[in-house]
Amino acid sequence: MDLPHHGYRASAKPRARAAPHTGDPLLFEDTSSAAPPMNNQGYYTPGYNMGGAPVGGPGDAGVNKLFADPMASAAMMYGSSLANQGKDIVNKEINRYVSVNKLKYFFAVDSKYVMKKLLLLMFPYTHQDWEVRYHRDTPLTPRHDVNAPDLYIPTMAFITYILLAGMALGIQKRFSPEVLGLCASTALVWVVIEVLVMLLCLYLLSVHSDLSIFDLFAYSGYKYVGMIFTVLGGLLFGSDGYFLALTWSSCALMFFIVRSLKMKILSSLSNDSMGAGATAKPRLRLYITVATAAFQPIIIYWLTSHLVR
Domain boundaries, the chain: 150-305
- Per-residue pLDDT tens for 100-110? 778 889 999 99
- Per-residue pLDDT tens for 111-133? 999 999 999 999 999 999 898 88
| Residue 111, pLDDT score | 95
Residue 220 and residue 194 in contact, taking contact as beta carbons nearer than 8 Å = yes
| Residue 31, pLDDT score | 52
Of the two residues 12 and 82, the one the predictor is more confident about is: 82
pLDDT for 45 beyond 60: no
pLDDT for 63 beyond 70: no
pLDDT for 62 beyond 80: no
| Residue 211, pLDDT score | 85
Using alpha carbons, list the distances in angstroms from residue 108 to 112, 236, 304, 309: 12, 34, 30, 39
**Helix, strand, or coil here: 98?**
coil
Which segment of 10-14, 65-69, 213-217, 301-305 scores lowest on mean pLDDT?
10-14
- Tally of residues, the chain: 309
| Residue 135, pLDDT score | 85
Of the two residues 210 and 4, the one the predictor is more confident about is: 210
| Residue 7, pLDDT score | 45
Highest mean pLDDT pick, 26-35, 172-181, 259-268? 172-181
| Residue 221, pLDDT score | 96
pLDDT for 260 beyond 70: yes
User: What's the pLDDT band for 285 if we cut at 50, 70, 90?
Assistant: confident
| Residue 5, pLDDT score | 47
**pTM for the full model?**
0.68
Contacts by residues 300-306 (CB-CB < 8 Å, ≥ 24 positions apart):
300/223, 300/226, 300/227, 300/230, 300/246, 300/249, 300/250, 300/253, 301/246, 302/190, 303/183, 303/186, 303/187, 303/190, 303/227, 304/227, 304/230, 304/231, 304/234, 304/242, 304/246
- Per-residue pLDDT tens for 74-102? 777 777 777 777 776 766 655 655 667 78
Q: What is the mean pLDDT of the chain?
A: 78
